[in-house]
């Protein structure tokens, strides 16, 4: 599961006319008849590498060629649109995609769906063309984060009260907006003692999360809690808490996990991680796309689940499998 070994096993191919890359694994000869590309938001992110690993395993199990495609940053919206157009031009059996931005990917997905079936994973788009959509219930994920944060604050102070902030990685991303919505709604209805004093957006970079968190620490001495809505922000916020040695004074719940954020959890810089099942999204995304390409009936919406990981439960076998997935 080491990052270096993962990346070294990938071959990167430049796509003409777009500042993006597409990763492609060697294709078994038996898989040549059926091609189903998977397009993720960011091939450099550990989370998306887990998604790709699931898709890769599905390709091997099902005898399908699965080109692994994606930009190098979740903010590269135009890059993902170009990748989608190029993938469709290759006339695959279907395409699996996680849209980078809800509005911007709507029309491109509508257009792509005129030629091939489109399966959505993780994040939505302003389109009704998806044959099936597999994702975490992100609103519920936000609620889980609020419950986890309230519990951590209560354990620290004895009460579910105090100033908290919510940090969202990028504006306009369907899954992130839903997490934010769920978190804010749960705080409002269930935890009236928690006061949201800041609701900020980043630019897709972990260093921005670090800087945002550092500024919030300086400006808000009574801050007791933070919700960081994705892995990149979790890395940045966790680093800020670690550098300032504030794990016993400010509790942080982040979304998704990698070696770095799990390390922050172990040392106490993060109080919890809301963990999805990205491997399942990748695997079942390809499996569903193959079924659709054969004319089989599939579920329109599939909830792939989310769990709160803390120091108390991280050694549970089910949780261990989610935070330490097998990537081959």
In a domain, 287, yes or no: yes
pLDDT per residue as tens digits for the range 308-320: 999 999 999 989 9
User: In this predicted model, which residue has the larger pLDDT, 328 or 279?
Assistant: 279
Whether residues 146 and 269 fall in one domain: yes
Task: Give pLDDT, residue 27.
Answer: 39
Count of domains observed in the chain: 2
Whether residues 68 and 189 fall in one domain: no
Length of the chain measured in residues: 328
Reported as half-sphere exposure (CB side, CA atoms, 13 A), residue 55 has a value of: 34
- Average the pLDDT over 274-291 and give the result: 96
In a domain, 327, yes or no: no
Report d(CA 131, CA 205) in Å as an integer.
Answer: 32
In a domain, 315, yes or no: no
Tokens for 261, please give them. 């954020």
In a domain, 145, yes or no: yes
Report d(CA 119, CA 15) in Å as an integer.
Answer: 22
Does 274 have pLDDT greater than 80? Answer: yes
- Average the pLDDT over 257-282 and give the result: 96
Tokens for 322, please give them. 């989610």
In a domain, 14, yes or no: no
Whether residues 148 and 271 fall in one domain: yes
Task: Give pLDDT, residue 152.
Answer: 98
Does 21 have pLDDT greater than 50? Answer: no
- The answer to pTM > 0.75 is yes
Domain that residue 207 falls in: 138-275
In a domain, 328, yes or no: no
Determine how many CB atoms are found less than 10 A away from the CB of residue 285: 32
Among 233, 257, 275, the domain-final residue is: 275
Determine how many CB atoms are found less than 10 A away from the CB of residue 104: 16
Task: Give pLDDT, residue 18.
Answer: 38
pLDDT per residue as tens digits for the range 80-105: 999 999 999 999 999 999 999 999 99
* Average pLDDT of the chain to the nearest whole number: 90
Report d(CA 97, CA 115) in Å as an integer.
Answer: 15
Specify the DSSP class assigned to residue 185: H
The DSSP H or E segment spanning 281 is helix 278-293
Tokens for 12, please give them. 């990167």
Whether residues 173 and 241 fall in one domain: yes
Whether residues 245 and 163 fall in one domain: yes
pLDDT per residue as tens digits for the range 52-86: 999 999 999 999 999 999 999 999 999 999 999 99
Supply φ then ψ for residue 168, to 5 degrees. Answer: -110, 135
- Average the pLDDT over 128-134 and give the result: 97
Report d(CA 134, CA 137) in Å as an integer.
Answer: 9
Whether residues 201 and 282 fall in one domain: no
Whether residues 181 and 248 fall in one domain: yes
Q: Which residues pair with 65 in a beta bridge?
A: 35
Report d(CA 29, CA 74) in Å as an integer.
Answer: 32
The CATH number given to whatever domain includes residue 221 is: 3.40.50.2300
């Amino acid at each position: 599961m080491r990052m270096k070994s993962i990346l070294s096993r990938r071959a990167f191919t430049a796509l003409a006319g777009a500042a993006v890359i597409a990763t492609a694994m060697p294709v078994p000869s038996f898989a040549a008849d059926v091609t189903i590309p998977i397009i993720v938001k960011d091939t450099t992110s550990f989370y998306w590498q887990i998604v790709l690993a699931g898709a890769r395993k599905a390709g091997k199990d099902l005898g399908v060629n699965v080109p692994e495609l994606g930009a190098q940053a979740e903010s590269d919206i135009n890059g993902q649109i170009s990748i989608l157009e190029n993938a469709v031009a290759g006339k695959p059996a279907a395409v699996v995609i996680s849209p980078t931005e809800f509005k911007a990917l709507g029309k491109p997905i509508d257009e792509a769906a005129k030629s091939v079936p489109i399966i959505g994973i993780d994040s939505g788009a302003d389109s009704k063309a998806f044959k099936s959509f597999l994702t975490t219930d992100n609103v519920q994920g936000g609620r889980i984060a609020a419950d986890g944060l309230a519990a951590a604050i209560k354990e620290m102070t004895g009460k579910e009260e105090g100033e908290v902030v919510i940090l969202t990685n990028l504006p306009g991303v369907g899954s992130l907006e839903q997490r934010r919505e769920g978190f804010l709604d749960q705080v409002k209805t269930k935890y009236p003692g928690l006061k949201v004093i800041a609701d900020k957006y980043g630019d897709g970079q972990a260093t921005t999360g670090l800087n945002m968190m550092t500024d919030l620490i300086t400006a808000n001495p009574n801050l007791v809690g933070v919700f960081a809505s994705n892995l990149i922000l979790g890395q940045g916020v966790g680093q800020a808490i670690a550098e300032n040695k504030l794990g016993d004074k400010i509790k942080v719940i982040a979304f998704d996990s990698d070696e770095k954020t799990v390390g922050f959890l172990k040392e106490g810089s993060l109080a919890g991680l809301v963990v999805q099942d990205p491997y399942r999204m990748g695997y079942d995304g390809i499996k569903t796309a193959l079924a659709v390409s054969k004319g089989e009936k599939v579920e329109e919406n599939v909830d792939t689940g989310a769990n709160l990981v803390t120091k108390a439960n991280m050694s549970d076998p089910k949780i261990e499998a989610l935070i330490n997935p097998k990537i081959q």
